[in-house]
Structure 1
């Protein structure tokens, strides 16, 4: 196989891998019933005048499946952390006991589960778009090469095979996440 075509295929595979990695990261943020420190990863706390990720000003733990516990490294940050969690609009109601901020993660309602499944499907569709964009870019590069028509057709077939493989992976991830969300 032509070196240039091999390079294009490798680059395309990397692009598709990054779409899958991004999808996995986004799926971690979609909660599925049990508490996880990742749920608070988007929370930004006002720390000495600048917005700072919660993980850089406090320890986030899960004492049990329905509770998140946030222990700030500085006691005077309790109120700021509480305010930041409320402002993050995650649907949590933090409680301050003087040492920790405790968050009870409510069980998901059927309606909320369906909303989360829709959100997961949207994220999966975004990942598929990323994969298709990588395919489109690869095909464009292959067509611009000065190689025989047979080599071009074979390379485009390889790119399509890669695309199909990654789309199947995305669908499999989505099926697993959907089952996880809908499990009561």
Structure 2
């Protein structure tokens, strides 16, 4: 008697969640006209001999829409944090005030906004490709185990994988739409 095939949909979902999580991180690194603590998430500082996220060496605040401040806890790291921000590609010029680093957020011009929406579109496409790769893996598992299940079961699994894929593609598209609106907002 052949054993019943069981597709690990939790694993597929976990991997698709990973693609969504990556997309959120990439979107957070795209600068809009407003300051946000999340824009510093990708920036790492060489602190105590290892690369460390900025929020683990100081307090990040957004006192007003066009200003982000970092209150660095260890005076010795202020220069390293400033250097990490300058080299991060965020296009922000840090200003020092003791242990506080101020990041004035410059206005985005129309051309820069358009460029950022294109970059956001590329990030979303990478996420869609990741989700489709997970879908392909799921479908492959079903195909390999067709001998262990009825045709109806195979169709059921395939439609479950497809529904999961469609729901994640919708989430990606909706995230992209929101991010593009946010970027184009003056």
TM-score (norm 2): 0.87
CA contact (8 A) 2:73 2:99 kept: no
Distance 1:157 1:67 in 2: 48
Measured in 2, the distance between the counterparts of 1:94 and 1:123 equals 27
- In 1, the alpha carbon distance for the partners of 2:69 and 2:86 equals 15
**Gap runs ≥5 in structure 2:** none
Give the drift of 1:127: 1.1
User: What is the correspondence of 1:97-176 to structure 2 with a 5 Å cutoff?
Assistant: 97-145=97-145, 146-176=148-178
Partner of 2:59: 59
Tell me what 1:29 maps to: 29
TM-score (norm 1): 0.88
For structure 1, list consecutive stretches of 5 or more residues without a partner in the other structure.
none
**Shift of the alpha carbon at 1:49?**
4.0
CA contact (8 A) 1:43 1:85 kept: yes
CA–CA distance in structure 2, aligned partners of residues 157 and 87 of structure 1: 47
Separation in 2, partners of 1:118, 1:45: 28
Task: Note if contact 2:31-2:90 (Cα within 8 Å) is conserved in structure 1.
Answer: no
Secondary structure, in 3 states, of the residue corresponding to 2:8?
helix
Alpha-carbon distance between aligned partners in 1 of 2:103 and 2:153, rounded to the nearest angstrom: 59
Q: For 1:66 and 1:116, how far apart are their aligned partners in 2?
A: 18
- Cα 1:99–1:166 change in 2 (3 A) is closer
| Counterpart in the other structure of 1:74 | 74
Q: Which residue of 2 aligns with 1:14?
A: 14
Root-mean-square deviation (CA, aligned residues, Å) is 1.9
CA-to-partner distance for each residue in 1:72-129, whole Å, 9 max, x for gaps? Answer: 1122322222222112221111111223111100011111111211111111111111
Change (3 A) 1:49 1:24: closer
Alpha-carbon spacing, 1:10–1:101, altered in 2? closer, same or farther (3 Å)? closer
Contact 1:8 1:141 in 2 (8 A): no
Partner of 2:179: 177
CA apart distance, 1:181: 0.8
